[in-house]
Structure 1
Amino acid sequence: MDRAVIRIPGRGKTTFRRFTSIVLAALAVVFLSVPHAGAATLPTPKSLTAYLDLECYRTSAYQPPGVQLTVRHLNPVLMNLPVETVTLGQREQLCVPVAKNTQEPPSPAIDFIKYIDLSCYKISGITVNTGLVLSHLNPLFQNLPRTQISMNTPQQLCVPVVKNNVIPPADVLQLVRYIDLKCYGITPNTALNQTVSLRQLNPVLTSQIPTHKAQILYARQLCVPVQKAGDSIPSAVLDIVRWIDLEKFDAITPALPTSVSLSLRHIDPVLAGLPAEQATLLGADQVALPVAKNGNLPPG
């Protein structure tokens, strides 16, 4: 595959190389300053995906530098879909890990889930019109009826970031840095009509956003795992991330009690040279829930 192309208008190649070197050097200092609490055991695909619930917040406007990425599908059900090159548009959301009701993700999955933060950017691409049958994976919803949907046009690419330079342990980072999800619009937009309590899991937000209710409404997107050209995903990690499928639903949540402003930094190797982004959370408008496609369940 061709490597991803990153274009920053108004900068020459020499300037960009110097800029990238400075950013990577700064990241290295941050990484080395984080204490390592011992190696974490990789979760099974089933234990990670079944408890991976994300709450998606609208953010203040931000347009990244000109970035083109070539992405290919990873999930076995979608391997026949075309490889395509997309351009990152404006940032639309930050999706952060949460637990529903009194659930607690099992160990060791919790050690990874709490560091899965995805920044979602507008994209466009090929309309695939692919029919799928979705079933919920989380134990709280797994007895709900299956839904038949059509996966249509790509709308977002969600890529891994860290907030306020809080870097996960190196072994956790080696997995979460490769979680890239391509989000397609779906039809029909079936209502889930469930009300849950959401509790923040990431250390940066546990003290800033209190536990709150969310009314989960209409399905809007299916976010499926992809690999960016230039990424070399370790095989053990690939065996997990290829099973991460999240269905995004509209949600009604209370207003944030205080303003939450964050610094976001890309952790995927292909995007690590991009500048840090400032993001103010404007309120949660969607919840992403783990699903399986066509009865193909994550192993484990």
Structure 2
Amino acid sequence: MSRRSTLRGFAASASLMLVAVLPGAATAAPAVPPPLPFVSQLDLSCYRTEGYKPPPTAVTLQHLNPVLAELPPETVELGAREQLCVPVAKNGAIPPPGILDYARWVDLACYRIEGGARNFPLTLSQLNPVVQRLGIQDAPVTMLSPEQLCVPVAKNGELPPPEILSFVRHIDLECYALRVLGIPGRPFPLTLGHLNPVLADRPKTEVRVGDARQLCVPVAKRGDEIPREVLGTVRWLDLAKYDVATGPSVIGPVALKLTHLDPVLAHLPGEEVILTEPAQLGLPVAKNGRIPPRD
């Protein structure tokens, strides 16, 4: 090889190394998170919203989780929006890199729906390490009628990176009323801090977690083609919604604009919402001892 060719080779290598360390240089996209590491770290703080009602929209839902896979499909009409659920960390425990990259973008708008009673007996087990350390016992429950459909949205036009959008846009949760059997658990305190960039400057909130009111389980909407690697994780995303109480707030409300991310609902218009204080907290659970796979 000539001296000139060698110098050109060194120059090309140096250029590649420089690009790799420059701020803003392209980096490898994080892989789709595996089921248990992702699900166990996803906590959603749910805020009541004013009763905006979208244009008439019917969707057909099919259960994804193995425990409920034999339940038949059901067609529901979207009613008034009741909540916006946003990702939070508990007691300062931030999800690890690779999980946080995805969890921080899971924002769900929840709309009223109606459907037939399931009366499905289940036992719920806590998955999040912070809650597990509090010694919260397994809870026998009965899953009753569907009350809400929670679908992915973006806030203030701030979209996730493309590789993360292709994951979170397929997260749809159908929330059922619960009948909790046995003695209700004792309320327990948590400190919640926002993870999503749009709300990252909001102060932490002290809450007391009370009774479980709903179980939100993963569903697919007819017409949504979920990639296999995404389905492998989102099918395990079960959240139990608990009532929370907060102290008097000195923080004013925050106004947001919502954009639908789900491919089936992308035609719906943007929405406006005002958040004040959280009303519920969604905590990850397993049903009937079926723990999500670790990888």
TM-score by length of 2: 0.87
Q: 2:121 aligns with which of 112, 131, 141?
A: 131
- TM-aligned CA deviation for residue 164 of structure 1: 0.2
- DSSP 3-state at the match of 2:265: coil
Q: Which residue of 1 aligns with 2:275?
A: 281
Q: Which residue of 2 aligns with 1:165?
A: 157
Residues 178-189 of structure 1 mapped to structure 2, 5 A cutoff: 178-188=170-180
Q: Distance in 2 between matches of 1:40 and 1:287?
A: 27
Is the Cα–Cα contact under 8 Å of residues 37 and 169 in structure 1 kept in the other structure?
Answer: no
Is the Cα–Cα contact under 8 Å of residues 206 and 246 in structure 2 kept in the other structure?
Answer: yes
**Structure ID, larger Rg:** 2
| Correspondence 1:225 to 2:218 | yes
Q: Which residue of 2 aligns with 1:260?
A: 254
- DSSP 3-state at the match of 1:41: coil
| Correspondence 1:107 to 2:97 | yes
- DSSP 3-state at the match of 1:140: helix
Displaced runs of 4+ in structure 1, greater than 6 A? none
Q: Distance in 2 between matches of 1:191 and 1:36?
A: 48
Letter paired with 1:182: E
- TM-aligned CA deviation for residue 36 of structure 1: 7.1
RMSD, matched Cα: 1.4
Q: 1:182 to 1:36 in 2, by over 3 A?
A: farther
- DSSP 3-state at the match of 2:159: coil
- DSSP 3-state at the match of 2:215: strand
- DSSP 3-state at the match of 1:51: coil
- Per-residue CA deviation, residues 256-286 of structure 1 (Å, 9 max, x unaligned), is 6012000000000000111000111132110
Matched-pair identity in %: 48
Give unpaired runs (5+ residues) of structure 1: 1-34
Q: Distance in 2 between matches of 1:73 and 1:139?
A: 26
Letter paired with 1:242: R
Residues 147-166 of structure 1 mapped to structure 2, 5 A cutoff: 147-166=139-158
Q: 1:291 aligns with which of 285, 288, 291?
A: 285
Is the Cα–Cα contact under 8 Å of residues 77 and 113 in structure 2 kept in the other structure?
Answer: yes
| Correspondence 1:140 to 2:127 | no
Q: Which residue of 2 aligns with 1:9?
A: none
Q: Distance in 2 between matches of 1:205 and 1:141?
A: 23
Is the Cα–Cα contact under 8 Å of residues 36 and 169 in structure 1 kept in the other structure?
Answer: no
- DSSP 3-state at the match of 1:199: strand
| Correspondence 1:197 to 2:191 | yes
Q: Distance in 2 between matches of 1:193 and 1:270?
A: 38
Q: 2:203 aligns with which of 178, 200, 210?
A: 210
- DSSP 3-state at the match of 1:204: helix
Q: Distance in 2 between matches of 1:277 and 1:243?
A: 29
Q: Distance in 2 between matches of 1:90 and 1:81?
A: 25
Q: Which residue of 2 aligns with 1:17?
A: none
- DSSP 3-state at the match of 1:261: strand
